[in-house]
Copies of this chain bind each other. A is one copy, B any other.
């Protein structure tokens, strides 16, 4: 047997034994999607960092359908910075065989949050008939102490824990069928600084009147998912986004989040709608959209470029009749459009249809 034969034989032996081992044991397939976090592009505004939060989330420890750690992974993958698990205190359908206390969901998930660089706000949902309805207590120390018969005792405990509250879905028909009122108890809680915000949007519902209340009372607006099922089966988390609360914070920390809420520096973002105070919406629009008002002109038209550096979609309604621009146009996330206006047009007023600054009010701009 010469050297070449030796070489070939050695190769064959080697290949065969490798193959045998592979077949005998296992072959790892590339089936699993390696977890990657989506970077949501929403720019910072002057002096503040823009954080994304969801402050209303359920698990199997109340009437949700998943384990608390799943909630952290979902929020991380979807690009959120801050989250709160808010299981119902008073509604625990499985409590006869799930016997742990109200702090358990937090305790199970907190290290998962730390390992994913998520700000994890300890919380619980106070779940009463109206008034006062449902309120999320945020920044609490102990959920068990909030589990008291008398709702005034609950509020007392919130105060003692130096926590704050958010009024959930004030326009929910199950609790306000034919009315939509701020009750005396809410006014009192607002005055005392215990209620610092309201959900202008919850799950799939949005309440324009609540936006107006928040502006009038100078409270933080919230959009929260109130998720019970699986986020990716409820929202299109690849091309769309879950409802979330944008916070303009001094830094990316629990204290930063709290200070932003207490200063009402938030915008609700849901289903590509923005709702919040006019000044914040305007600042966020300016930081997101880059306008070149006439990069080219020919004998009939000037050509304008609007470039969207964010993941927010903007929808425009042209309010200047006959300037040659289309009546309606859209600027998709991370896209640029060219709009042609008549050369002699002097004005280009638009209403930004998906930017709500009050109950009957939208952001208005002059693009010229």
Contacts and interface: CB of A to CB of B under 8 A. Distances in A.
Interface of A: 3, 6-7, 10, 19, 22-39, 41, 60, 65-67, 69-70, 73, 77, 97-100, 104, 111, 114-117, 169, 171-173, 176, 179-180, 203-209, 229-230, 232-236, 243, 270-271, 292, 295-296, 298, 303, 305, 307-309, 329-332, 334-338, 340, 359-360
A231 B33 CA distance: 11
A333 to B, nearest CB: 9
A113 to B, nearest CB: 10
A185 to B, nearest CB: 19
A117 B236 contact: no
Contacts of A27: 205-208
A23 B332 contact: no
Given A60-B67, A235-B31, A173 B25 contact: yes
A39 B334 contact: yes
Contacts of A32: 204, 234-235
Contact of A309 (B39, B208, B271): B39
Contacts of A270: 29, 31
Contacts of A34: 329-330
Nearest to A310: B39
B117 A295 contact: yes
Q: 4 shortest A-B CB distances, which residue pairs?
A: A24-B180, A36-B335, A37-B336, A23-B208
B305 A207 contact: no
Contacts of A29: 204-206, 270-271
B117 A24 contact: no
18 contacts: A22-B208, A24-B180, A25-B176, A26-B173, A26-B207, A27-B206, A28-B204, A30-B204, A32-B234, A33-B233, A37-B337, A39-B307, A41-B334, A60-B60, A65-B66, A99-B99, A117-B303, A232-B232
A117 to B, nearest CB: 5
A25 B99 contact: no
A301 to B, nearest CB: 8
Contacts of A77: 233
Given A22-B208, A36-B332, A115-B340, 15 more contacts: A24-B179, A25-B171, A25-B209, A26-B205, A27-B205, A31-B270, A32-B235, A34-B329, A39-B308, A65-B67, A65-B69, A97-B100, A97-B104, A115-B303, A117-B296
A36 B338 CA distance: 8
Nearest to A20: B209
Given A33-B236, A97-B100, A206-B29, A305 B39 contact: no
Contacts of A24: 171, 179-180, 209
